Amino acid sequence: MCRGRSVLVERLFVALLLCGLLLSGPLVAEPVTSLMRASEIAQEAFGGQVVKAEEAEIDQKPVFLIRIVNDGRVRDVMINPDDGEILNP
């Protein structure tokens, strides 16, 4: 009887561990699927106000182009739609 309880506790522990891993978020970079999220990434990195956001192709690869105005200065930010990486410093 004690062994049965031990197996049950072990299985419960494994199930809770797996649930925790699933709820903690992805283990790899998740794709940026919207202009909204790309705009948020650009704003978090550079501040300012987004005035234009569009999908484009650079060297036959899709990118999100986000235009930000900050203190009267304009910055164009290119973001990789696959992982949210900012492609231009």
Each residue's pLDDT tens digit, 38-52? 999 999 999 999 999
Answer yes or no: is 73 within a domain.
yes
Answer yes or no: is 42 within a domain.
yes
The token pair that represents 68 in the structure block:
């930000």
Each residue's pLDDT tens digit, 57-70? 989 999 999 999 99
Task: Decide which of 2 and 21 is more confident.
Answer: 2
Answer yes or no: is 85 within a domain.
no
Are the C-beta atoms of residues 51 and 31 closer than 8 Å to each other?
Answer: no
Q: How far apart are CA 61 and CA 42, in angstroms?
A: 19
CB contact set of 80 (below 8 Å; sequence gap of 6+): 32, 63, 86, 87
Answer yes or no: is 89 within a domain.
no
Q: How far apart are CA 26 and CA 61, in angstroms?
A: 24
Answer yes or no: is 15 within a domain.
yes
Answer yes or no: is 30 within a domain.
yes
Residue 48's domain comprises: 2-79
pTM above 0.75, yes or no: no
The domain total for the chain is 1
